[in-house]
Amino acid sequence: MADVFVSSLVSTILGNLNSLALREFEIASNLETDLQDLGSTLSTIQAVLQDAEQKQWRSEAVRNWLRKLKDIAYDADDLLDEFAAKAFLWKARENMSSKVSDFFSFKNSTVFTFKKAHELKQIRQRLDAVAEEKNKFHLTEKVGDLEIDDREWRLTSSLVNESEILGRNEDKENVINGLFGSSLDQNDLSIYAICGMGGLGKTTLAQLVFNDERVERGFGLRIWVCVSDAFEVRRLIKAVIESIDGSPCDIKELDPLQRYLQEKLRGKRFLLVLDDVWNENYEKWDGFRNSLKVGAKGSVVIVTTRIEKVALIMATLPIYHLDYLSDENSWLLFKQRSFLMESEEGYSRLERIGKQIVLKCGGVPLAVKALGSMLRLKRRESDWLSVKESEIWELPDDGSGILPALRLSYDNLPSYLRQCFAYCSIFPKDCEMDKSQLIELWMANGFVPSRGRRELREIGDEIFLELTWRSFFQDVTEYHDGTVTCKMHDLVHDLAISIMRFECYMYDNNQSFGSPKQIRHLHIPIQPMPPSSYERIHSDKQYNLLKSCSSVRSLILGGIGLTEANCPPLKHVRALDCDMYQIPKSLGKMVHLRYLNLRDHGSICIRRIPNSFCNLVHLTYLNLSYSRIKRLPQSANCLLNLQIMKLSSCRYLCELPQGMQHMRSLKCVDISRCDSLEQTPPGIGHLTQLVELSIFIVRKDHGYGIGELKELDLGKELSLKELDNVTGSTEAKSANLIRKQNLRSLSLIWGKQAGEFPDNEEEVLSSLQPHYNLEYIRISCYQGLRLPSWLIDLPNLVLVELDQCKRCSHLPPLGELPLLMVLKIKGMDAVKCISSEFYGNGINPFSSLEELFFDSMPVLETWKTVEGRGNFPRLQILVFRKCPELIELPKFPTLKKLRICERESVLFHPDLGSLKIHDLSGLTNFPSGLLQNQTHLEELNIESLPDLRSLSNHLDNLSVLKHLKIFSCHKLKDIPEALQNLNALESLVLSGCDTLVSFPGNVNGLTSLRVLKIFQCDRFTSLSDRVMHLTHLEELCIWDCPMLNSLPTEIQHLNGLQKLTISRCDGFTSVPNQIEHLTSLCELNFEYCIHLMSLPQGLKSLTTLKNLDIRGCPHLEKWCKEGEGEGWPYIAHVPCIKITAYDKAWYSKLRRSHGSLFTRFGDWAFGLASKLLKCKPES
């Protein structure tokens, strides 16, 4: 049953009526009396709201009264918001030297005041009528909101973890015994189902089993997938693959996904947990299960489900029915969550009541935890009795499946917590919700109550913790970058939806919504890509919904990009999260907007900000990252309430508003990776609330000096640029870096002209010592002779970069840093030797270092090891670039990847897993032993060796090599012969190999090859007939090979080929009809093959083909035209066909930039070649 929240909104309005900005406006506009009367009426109504909100689930009349009241309250809130906006603009005008908006004009102000006074009068009349109506409900006045004990807001942990799982040890042992028992199907995949009602702890039990040491030892591969409502086979296979790989899967089509998954599972004993399954369609399950039947004997799938029918469909082993918790364990769990101690006074009375409450929970852990958390630290007997005797226990089951205990726990929340929780229904089920975004959205909608001078974000953080502790949020996770996410249990999500179903709506293409005008919060998530014929209908449906939701206050768009043309009049919106391809002028009319987050997919198209932007005076959060703007307009100084401004990766941004010192609310200015920024605005030191500033550019002028940072408590990352403008030690110390304990990353960058060596650089750097909490330091373009001694006094350093410190001849003792994991040293022209000084005085130097980079060290000759004190015990990646004099490397026992580039000789190191060699001019042949002894090498990249002529005999011993890339080796002649013994090779990429004419040669050794890509090989003419032996090939791509004119008929033997791409091959004219034998082909792409006239009739036989993409092929475009083209009958069966028109101007530009063989010979050569190929040149 939907609830109507009003009390928190009324509290917000009453608070706004007392705000300084509104008081200034009402005096100036002669509206004092009207606004005071509005406040008086609202105060009278507020006194009975708590009683009305509690009675609404028993009285439809009360609920309707609340709904009418809320509609009026929304209008009043918007009107007061516009008054406050006007006041803020007046205040901003005082800080501006010129007129910034027509909004300031006298005429505009007079019209505005007259119009809004009329609206205020109408709202008061409506409110008076509603206030009169309340009397017939006999509502009781109650003072104050439900409050939480102050101690509850002083929790010390930042995240909540379950300390103990009670009462499930026996269940865990039973399930584990089932996984290893004799009843397992040894010849097929075993399916073990855990079945029980929602909230019993099925997921928790599966997690206990999944993480048990015996299970970890018994299964070589463990995979966890949350299934939830949608059992879509393709999505599930991708989820399984991503769980195995630990990274996103880019494969889109079902057949290649299935094949890739089977390769991952083949021969391995795996455990797959499918959590929260609802699918009752056997065909879907059978289609998914068939993809799994390649594992070793003893592989098991665990399924958790609420539905007995689902378990019966899926299980091959006896179903495990999860029982309720015993009364004893339920009581123990309740005590744990309520902090009830036996030593407390009155324990026996509370125990008696508590056990009666626990009995009402029926042994459901989720309900027990919710009520236990609700009564946490409450010790009045009356509080416990009110829970035990609540009428909610007696409500009839409405079929929603929502536990009365959850509803009771929710009803006992203060109104602002109820509003914050219920708002989360705007997110999809099982969605990972970002804590920071959630708090910003709460704040934008006015859900976070103000408490004196405390920060709203701090209060929002406490609300998040409170909802977590009360079990409304779960699976709270903190990532390495500080991002915190959470989820809601599906029963809890159902509760949120039932409460807010009239106001919060998440778009689903398969559902309709009765009254869009009631929607206040709308989310249109990214939808699965529909068939091309329905794409326009699907998009139109979304836009029509968007236009019809005229009262929306929160708008989250995942699949729609807004422009000037399609942006609806969102005049009530307060939070907007979307792709925006250009900022519409109408944005300036969204005067209520607090939160604006433009996603990077759309923002990369944004080049300018309209002047009307200054009207968004309520804005507190702005994200324009990745946009192409060059400057923010000076009128942005009007955004006096702006707290967070994110402009990260705005690479064209050169200027910030000069009056930023007036934006006193700013807390975060993220301008990281804004490489074109010329200066930071003056007077930054006036922004006393600033805690994050990515870049500060030092100038000698007043207001631009480094002393501006003195009183700022900056955190996260800070890059200080042009430090050559610091006059000396005293000024450097005024930055007060040593006291900035929240700073985690610091870059110190000088910016002088070459050849200038000021005398004070060493004393300046010495005086810029940061706090010891620092984790990352970069020192760049420093021209002193010595690096500072304080480097080794930073014990928490994880990453160090020394860049262009050209005059330093010695490396500091960085081996003494115990946590250092990544070290990058570049452009230290004076360093000749890596000596014992580098290791320091520790017993185990570089004990944590995993990645080490040396770049542009022109005189580095020797590397001396230190005997008896360890030798980089964890080093895995070592990179050398432009280190021409270094001849010999020490041996690193754990080294896996070595990269050598831009030198004349090759450094040798045995037992590598990955080797990259590139930019070695003058090298005609590899030294003996470089590759022959690399028996563990799995990945080899050879790139930009323009003089390399031969690989023969160098690759023969690479018995486990899986991935080989050869790029830009223009004189390499023996590629086919050199590869003949690579039995384990799975992927091969050949690019820019100008001597390659045909491939493959002798392919006896390429029996495992699955991916073959040939790019920009100008003389490549054909695949040889030996291609028929590449029987495991799954993907074949040929790009930018202008002499290729067809494919061999032997391609018919590639039964496993799933993807075939021919792109930008000017001379390609035909495809053999034998393509009809490619029974596994799923994806076929032809791009800018301008002389390809048609496709063979055999295409009609390819029943597995799912995607046909034809781009820029003018003849094929006509040949394939739907319903009219000659070839349409041969391709009509393909589910997804995309045909992109030929763009001659774009293609000409492309050919010029590529510089293919034809282009180099000039236009006459292209015409001649066209005649030789019996094709007409394009007109």
Q: Look up residue 984 and give its two tokens.
A: 């384990």
Provide the pLDDT confidence category of residue 899 given band limits of 50, 70 and 90: confident
What pLDDT, in 10s, does the model give residues 18-34?
Answer: 776 666 665 556 677 88
Spell out the long-range contacts of 1147-1151 with Cβ–Cβ below 8 A and sequence spacing 24 or more.
Answer: 1147/1088, 1147/1090, 1147/1112, 1150/1064, 1150/1088, 1151/1066
More confident residue, 528 or 345: 345
The Cα–Cα gap between 376 and 336 comes to: 9
Q: What pLDDT is attached to residue 1004?
A: 65
Which of 537-546, 733-742, 967-976 tops mean pLDDT?
733-742
Provide the pLDDT confidence category of residue 1175 given band limits of 50, 70 and 90: very low
- The structure's pTM equals 0.72
- In the block, which residue shows the tokens 């076929």? 1084
Provide the pLDDT confidence category of residue 391 given band limits of 50, 70 and 90: low
DSSP state of 620: -
Give the number of other CB atoms < 10 A from CB of residue 382.
Answer: 7
Stretch 35-55: mean pLDDT, rounded?
85
Q: What pLDDT is attached to residue 720?
A: 96
Q: What pLDDT is attached to residue 94?
A: 63
What pLDDT, in 10s, does the model give residues 959-981?
Answer: 889 999 999 998 888 888 888 78
Spell out the long-range contacts of 507-512 with Cβ–Cβ below 8 A and sequence spacing 24 or more.
Answer: 507/542, 507/545, 509/538, 509/541
Q: Look up residue 744 and give its two tokens.
A: 């985690």
The Cα–Cα gap between 950 and 142 comes to: 89
Q: What pLDDT is attached to residue 157?
A: 26
Give the number of other CB atoms < 10 A from CB of residue 903.
Answer: 20
The Cα–Cα gap between 180 and 389 comes to: 47
For the CA atoms of 550, 553, 556, 560, the dihedral, rounded to the nearest 10 degrees, stands at: 20
- In the block, which residue shows the tokens 């508590």? 354
Provide the pLDDT confidence category of residue 396 given band limits of 50, 70 and 90: low
Decide: 513 and 427 in contact? Cβ < 8 Å: no
> Sheet of 692-693: strands edge to edge?
504-506, 521-524, 554-562, 575-580, 595-598, 621-623, 644-646, 668-670, 692-693
Q: Whose CA is closest to 580, among 591, 592, 594, 568?
A: 568
DSSP state of 631: B
The Cα–Cα gap between 1068 and 1090 comes to: 8
Decide: 119 and 104 in contact? Cβ < 8 Å: no
Half-sphere exposure (CA, 13 Å, Cβ side) for 385?
4
pLDDT at 38 > cutoff 80: yes
More confident residue, 1124 or 752: 1124
The Cα–Cα gap between 809 and 828 comes to: 8
Q: Whose CA is closest to 575, among 665, 691, 448, 670?
A: 448
The Cα–Cα gap between 637 and 662 comes to: 7
Considering the chain, what is the average pLDDT of its residues? 82
Q: Whose CA is closest to 304, among 284, 321, 287?
A: 321
What pLDDT, in 10s, does the model give residues 1152-1173?
Answer: 444 443 333 333 233 333 333 3
Q: Look up residue 371 and give its two tokens.
A: 């009520």
pLDDT at 883 > cutoff 70: yes
More confident residue, 1157 or 847: 847
pLDDT at 190 > cutoff 60: yes
Q: What pLDDT is attached to residue 23?
A: 67
Q: What pLDDT is attached to residue 29?
A: 61
Which of 719-723, 1076-1080, 1139-1143 tops mean pLDDT?
719-723
pLDDT at 412 > cutoff 80: no
Q: Look up residue 562 and give its two tokens.
A: 């807004």
Q: What pLDDT is attached to residue 480?
A: 79
Query: What is the full DSSP assignment across 779-839?
Result: EES---SS--GGGGG-TT--EEEEES-TT--S---GGG-TT--EEEEE--TT--EE-HHHH
Q: What pLDDT is attached to residue 753?
A: 52
The alpha carbon of residue 516 and the mean position of all alpha carbons in its chain are separated, in whole angstroms, by 30
DSSP state of 635: G
What pLDDT, in 10s, does the model give residues 252-305?
Answer: 788 888 888 988 898 889 999 999 888 888 888 888 888 898 888 889 999 998
The Cα–Cα gap between 453 and 741 comes to: 24
Min mean pLDDT across 172-186, 583-597, 960-974 is at 172-186
| Kind and range of the H or E run holding 561 | strand 554-562
Decide: 646 and 668 in contact? Cβ < 8 Å: yes
Quick one: three-class SS letters along 409-450?
Answer: HHHCCCHHHHHHHHHHHHCCCCCCEEHHHHHHHHHHCCCCCC
Provide the pLDDT confidence category of residue 185 given band limits of 50, 70 and 90: low
Give the number of other CB atoms < 10 A from CB of residue 938.
Answer: 17
Give the number of other CB atoms < 10 A from CB of residue 365.
Answer: 23
The alpha carbon of residue 60 and the mean position of all alpha carbons in its chain are separated, in whole angstroms, by 43
pLDDT at 719 > cutoff 50: yes
pLDDT at 644 > cutoff 90: yes
What pLDDT, in 10s, does the model give residues 1005-1062?
Answer: 788 899 999 999 999 999 988 888 888 999 999 999 999 999 999 999 998 999 999 9
The Cα–Cα gap between 717 and 671 comes to: 10
What pLDDT, in 10s, does the model give residues 65-120?
Answer: 988 898 998 999 888 888 888 877 777 666 554 444 444 444 456 666 777 788 88
- The hierarchical CATH code for the domain 330-502 is 1.10.10.10
Measuring CA to CA, how many Å separate 312 from each of 14, 285, 319? 57, 12, 8
More confident residue, 878 or 165: 878
Give the number of other CB atoms < 10 A from CB of residue 1031.
Answer: 14
pLDDT at 537 > cutoff 50: no
Q: What pLDDT is attached to residue 48?
A: 85
Q: Look up residue 838 and give its two tokens.
A: 């580098």
Stretch 380-384: mean pLDDT, rounded?
79
Stretch 549-564: mean pLDDT, rounded?
83
Measuring CA to CA, how many Å separate 176 from each of 211, 296, 302, 311, 982? 11, 18, 11, 18, 43
The Cα–Cα gap between 1119 and 1128 comes to: 7
Q: What pLDDT is attached to residue 900?
A: 82
- In the block, which residue shows the tokens 């083949």? 266
Q: What pLDDT is attached to residue 497?
A: 86
Give the number of other CB atoms < 10 A from CB of residue 37.
Answer: 14
**In the chain, domain spans:** 7-137, 169-321, 330-502
How far the first Cα of the chain sits from its last, in Å, is: 69
Q: What pLDDT is attached to residue 281?
A: 83
pLDDT at 638 > cutoff 70: yes
Stretch 403-414: mean pLDDT, rounded?
72
pLDDT at 614 > cutoff 70: yes
Q: Look up residue 330 and give its two tokens.
A: 């339920």
Q: Whose CA is closest to 425, among 366, 355, 335, 497?
A: 497
Min mean pLDDT across 524-528, 583-587, 894-898 is at 524-528
For residue 655, what are the β-bridge partners? 631
Strands 851-855 and 1035-1039: unpaired
Q: Look up residue 1177 and give its two tokens.
A: 């040149």
Q: What pLDDT is attached to residue 529?
A: 43
Stretch 462-467: mean pLDDT, rounded?
90
DSSP state of 955: S
169-321: in CATH 2.40.30.10: no
Instruction: Count helices and strands (H / E) in the chain.
Output: 32, 40
Spell out the long-range contacts of 508-513 with Cβ–Cβ below 8 A and sequence spacing 24 or more.
Answer: 509/538, 509/541, 513/545
Q: Look up residue 312 and give its two tokens.
A: 């019966």
The Cα–Cα gap between 763 and 276 comes to: 63
Q: What pLDDT is attached to residue 161?
A: 37
Q: What pLDDT is attached to residue 390?
A: 67
The Cα–Cα gap between 881 and 828 comes to: 12
Percent with pLDDT over 90 in the chain: 32
Strands 862-863 and 851-855: unpaired
Stretch 321-343: mean pLDDT, rounded?
80
The Cα–Cα gap between 507 and 759 comes to: 65
What pLDDT, in 10s, does the model give residues 1063-1095?
Answer: 999 899 999 999 999 999 999 999 999 999 999
Name residues whose C-beta falls within 8 Å of residue 458's C-beta, 6 or more positions apart in sequence.
Answer: none
Q: Look up residue 258 and give its two tokens.
A: 């299935």
Q: What pLDDT is attached to residue 1179?
A: 31
